[in-house]
Structure 1
Amino acid sequence: MAGDLLDSEGRGEVFSSLPRIHPEGRKFAIGALAISLVFAFFAWETLAWPMAFLSLGILAFFRDPDRVVPQDERYVVSPADGTVVQITQVAPPQELVVDDGSGTEGLGTDPVTRVSIFLSVFDVHINRTPISGMVRRLVYIPGKFLNADLDKASEDNERQYILVERSDGVKIAFAQIAGLVARRIVPFVKPGDTLGVGQRVGMIRFGSRVDVYLPAGTGSRVMIGQRVIAGETVIAELDTRPLIEGVSQ
């Protein structure tokens, strides 16, 4: 039913528990902890304690909490935890416009609203799909590792575009962008996969940015400087009058 709240596994309630740790992070945490134990064995406490705290920091970085997802087809939810740093009108990326030979049309050439979300190392780095639908494109672009907070990071940095199409033809694209510290984009999906809104689609390691390209004519419901939560915060509502500066919700 429209407006119902479900978590990412279909449960209609929020429950209190410690967030799971994504498998990508376990090997790093175990490695840091193992080094800490070696240092402790040799009584090198000045080295052992920092490594122990580092292992805890790694576990915190790779936390993967459940989210309660709004179930309303009008809503576009945030694909990332972080802070909105830019809301602007741009032309869609060429990689999402040109014919890729798959037989599926990409985005149009008309300008669209792009919402840019910056993720610090303290944010959850699991990314989620803004809408339900099928993955039509997944395009990896090698590039630089500039500060993800800069405007030119959208065009210059290493990034991965994901284009999702709903059954009614609505298409939304978003980009996972590597940052100054982030050095790897890890996808969980592939073209042809069918996703539920708020489903996990990938992660970016250690600080990054996610850009969302809203459908033409759709405006933002968030403001620059606002904190958003992946899979929960509604960043746009389809078929509403564009507001480039965003509005508070």
Structure 2
Amino acid sequence: MAKKSKSVADRTFPWFQSGFDLEGIVGFLAAWLLGILLGMLWGPLFWLAFIPGLVLLFATRTAERVSPDEPGLVIAPCDGVVVSIEEADPPEELRMSEPAMRVRISSSPFSSNNIHAPVEGTIDHLVREEGAAEAFAAMQPDSAGLEVLYFAIEGDSVPVGLRVATGGLGPRLETRADAGDRVTAGKTIGTRRLGGWCDVFVPLEGKILVEPGRTLIGGETALIDLTGVTADGFRPPAPEYEDEEPVADTLPPEVAEAFKGDEDKDDAKPGSSETEAEATVEADDETGTDDLDPDDPRRNDPAEMFARLRRKASSLSDDPDKPKDS
């Protein structure tokens, strides 16, 4: 069963499902007019402008595609030919665990421009690498200076990654979807002009349905069957944390002794209220004024009262006439 946006039976030309980008149409018309002007000077000059305009028109071709809706299928993301099917390490930009199966596709400059979502799911993230103007042709998939676009799609069963590459001259890669968008299999998520390369990364357990040399129709041809495949071992594993050692309820002896020493030092500081009150009491005793005036505010000071009690207790313990326990 297939997904159909409009009735094919109602079309005048059911076989015509292609279109052209606005840039291609404008470029072709400009080249055609230029060819007419040049042809007025000399006839063969007409073709000198008309042929490049025709090439530009077909290089911006788009097409309507009808995608299969069987669950578990990975659909070809673009038109082209299967170059290789092998185990490979996914690029770091896709944030996928190793290993993975890579299906590499090569597209001609006259292939349809559309980039289709290979599976139904949510676009997790996009990463773009700008290209260099000198790398105008994508002769090799890993050549330096290519413009590259990474799609990480979180499928309903497993994640699938795309690496789309083309020449770096001009705006030849555009996105039609953003991270977080929900897409269906076959939906157009980008545009690539003048061909290039496309790598599809899926789990190794998937069943390959194509072979090298197979011609693909983007958005229609099934590449891989992932029915029954889970994401175990394909998503990055969750970080493992070591169990923390339990904290002791009591301090080690050496730490406790040091802590006690710090407390003694704090008690001996001259700024504390207890020390000041005790010094005041001693001064009163030395001068014979141990009893404070009833109106003296120090009589009701808790810190001073506590210090005086401590001093009295200390004097009683030092009394030589006090009988000692046998």
Q: Shorter-chain TM-score: what band?
A: 0.7 to 0.9
Quick check: 1:110–1:216 contact (8 Å CA) kept in 2?
no
Q: What is the alpha-carbon distance in structure 1 between the residues aligned to residue 184 and residue 202 of structure 2?
A: 18
Q: What is the alpha-carbon distance in structure 1 between the residues aligned to residue 205 and residue 170 of structure 2?
A: 33
Quick check: 2:87–2:204 contact (8 Å CA) kept in 1?
no
Letter in 2 for 1:211: D
Q: What is the alpha-carbon distance in structure 2 between the residues aligned to residue 89 and residue 61 of structure 1?
A: 32
Quick check: 1:181–1:207 contact (8 Å CA) kept in 2?
no
Structure in which a larger fraction of residues adopt strand: 1
Q: Who is 1:211 aligned against?
A: 199
Letter in 2 for 1:37: I
How far off its partner does 1:36 sit?
1.8
- Across the aligned residues of Structure 1 and Structure 2, the Cα RMSD in angstroms comes to 2.7
Quick check: 1:219–1:240 contact (8 Å CA) kept in 2?
no
Q: Structure 1 residues 214, 12: CA separation in 2 closer, same or farther (over 3 Å shift)? A: farther
Superposed CA deviations along residues 100-130 of structure 1, whole A, max 9, x for unmatched, are xxxxxxx2x2210011100112322221111
Quick check: 1:222–1:235 contact (8 Å CA) kept in 2?
yes
Report matched runs for 1:1-249 at 5 Å.
4-7=1-4, 9=5, 15-17=14-16, 19-40=18-39, 42-97=40-95, 107=96, 109-143=97-131, 145=135, 148=138, 150=140, 152-153=142-143, 157-166=146-155, 168-179=156-167, 184-239=172-227
Match of 1:174, SS state, is: strand
How far off its partner does 1:146 sit?
8.2
How far off its partner does 1:94 sit?
0.6
Q: What is the alpha-carbon distance in structure 2 between the residues aligned to residue 133 and residue 29 of structure 1?
A: 38
Q: What is the alpha-carbon distance in structure 2 between the residues aligned to residue 71 and residue 188 of structure 1?
A: 21
How far off its partner does 1:199 sit?
1.1
Structure in which a larger fraction of residues adopt helix: 2
Q: Structure 1 residues 34, 189: CA separation in 2 closer, same or farther (over 3 Å shift)? A: farther
**TM norm structure 2:** 0.61
Q: What is the alpha-carbon distance in structure 1 between the residues aligned to residue 170 and residue 79 of structure 2?
A: 15
Unmatched 5+ stretches in structure 1: 98-106, 242-249
Moved more, 30-39 or 173-182: 173-182
Q: Structure 1 residues 225, 11: CA separation in 2 closer, same or farther (over 3 Å shift)? A: same
The structure with higher relative contact order (CA 8 Å, sep 6+) is: 1
Quick check: 1:178–1:207 contact (8 Å CA) kept in 2?
yes
Larger Rg over CA atoms: 2
